Amino acid sequence: MNAHPAVRRVAVGDHLRHWRQQRRLSQQDLAFDAGLSTRHLSCVETGKASPSRELVLRLCEHLSVPLRERNAWLVAAGFAPMYREHRLDDPPLQAARQAVQHILDRHEPWPAVAFDRHWNLVLSNRMVVPLLAGVDPALLVPPVNLLRVSLHPGGLAPRIANLHQWREHLFARLQQQLHTTGDAGLAALLQELQAYPDQPPEQIRRLDGEHPGVLMPFLVHTPTGVLHLISTTTVFGSPTDITLQELAMETFFPGDEASAQALRTLAQTLP
DSSP for 51-83, please give it: PPHHHHHHHHHHTT--HHHHHHHHHHTT----S
Nearest CA to 174 out of 147, 144, 214, 210 is that of: 147
Q: Report in angstroms the alpha-carbon separations of 222 from 130, 156, 195.
A: 9, 9, 25
Report the 10 Å Cβ neighbour count for 112.
23
SS3 123: strand
| pLDDT at res. 7 | 38
CA of residue 175 relative to chain centroid, distance: 10
The answer on pLDDT for 1 being more than 60 is no
Name the pLDDT band for 9 (thresholds 50, 70, 90): low
Q: Where are the beta strands (DSSP E) in the chain?
A: 112-115, 121-124, 216-222, 225-235, 248-254
The answer on pLDDT for 188 being more than 90 is yes
Q: Span 109-118, mean pLDDT?
A: 97
The answer on pLDDT for 82 being more than 60 is yes
The C-alpha atoms of residue 251 and residue 109 are separated, in whole angstroms, by: 11
The C-alpha atoms of residue 179 and residue 212 are separated, in whole angstroms, by: 17
Q: Span 243-267, mean pLDDT?
A: 95
| pLDDT at res. 119 | 97
Q: What value does the mean pLDDT of the chain take?
A: 92
Exposure b/e, 44-54, CB count within 10 A at least 16 = b: bbeeeeebeee
Q: pLDDT tens for residues 145-175?
A: 999 999 999 999 999 999 999 999 999 999 9
Q: Span 54-66, mean pLDDT?
A: 95
The answer on pLDDT for 4 being more than 80 is no
